[in-house]
Chains A and B, each alone.
Chain A
């Protein structure tokens, strides 16, 4: 059973456009929602993360929007650049502050983003 559902599977955006990737979850106990970015041949790396006490978090051109009632969160990449071309994974977990056995991530299936020059 997929704990986190991610869409779309792939996305093509023109340079300067907005890229939007959506995720949905079921477990209301989740309280930590990171986004990871993965370039070909590399391991995933944390891009930005949010906790459910805020509805939005922005870091540079990257913004997470969080809707607790709908159990959905999304990544917005403003002014998309060819260097943003990568695979993006959303994830959800019960934070280590609430778990005494570490924080297991439940990853979405990934979105392959291509930004066309």
Chain B
């Protein structure tokens, strides 16, 4: 299996621009998680889906952030408009409902200038 796939791996954009991060979970996994990692705040859960349905989005910082999971094999995290404080590494992880292990992707390093 290819593991969790994230794209792009690096993104540099200017303040005010729209940013879309993409994730393909491991085939067959039915839970998907979006995390943000910074030096100051560590690893934060932003939102997670179970069977394509958002379960908990309480970690989403503000209305500029939105996430979708239109089908079992694809999810997006969108930031519009982006701000310099959004600069971080964003991870996607997936898991199988009958097990507890979360498998992380390689992350997207976002830099907002």
Total interface residues on B, CB under 8 Å, equals 26
- Residues B95 and A110 in contact, CB atoms below 8 Å apart: no
Question: Chain A residues with Cβ under 8 A from B107's Cβ?
Answer: 42-43
- Residues B56 and A49 in contact, CB atoms below 8 Å apart: no
- Residues A96 and B100 in contact, CB atoms below 8 Å apart: yes
Question: Chain B residues with Cβ under 8 A from A32's Cβ?
Answer: 100
Against A, the Cβ 8 Å flags (1 = close, 0 = not) of B70-109 are 0000000000000000000001010101111111111100
Against A, the Cβ 8 Å flags (1 = close, 0 = not) of B33-57 are 1000000001101001110000110
Question: Chain A residues with Cβ under 8 A from B105's Cβ?
Answer: 43
A44 CB contact (under 8 Å) in B45, B50, B55, B91: B91
- Residues B100 and A34 in contact, CB atoms below 8 Å apart: yes
A93 within 8 A of B: yes
Question: Chain A residues with Cβ under 8 A from B106's Cβ?
Answer: 41-43
Against B, the Cβ 8 Å flags (1 = close, 0 = not) of A85-117 are 000010001011100011111111110000000
Q: Which of B14-71 contact A (CB under 8 A)?
A: 30-31, 33, 42-43, 45, 48-50, 55-56
A102 in contact with B43 given A42-B106, A43-B91, A45-B104 (CB within 8 Å):
no
- Residues B101 and A102 in contact, CB atoms below 8 Å apart: no
Question: Apart from A102-B95, A104-B55, what 6 extra A-B contacts exist at CB < 8 Å?
Answer: A34-B101, A36-B104, A89-B43, A103-B31, A104-B45, A105-B45
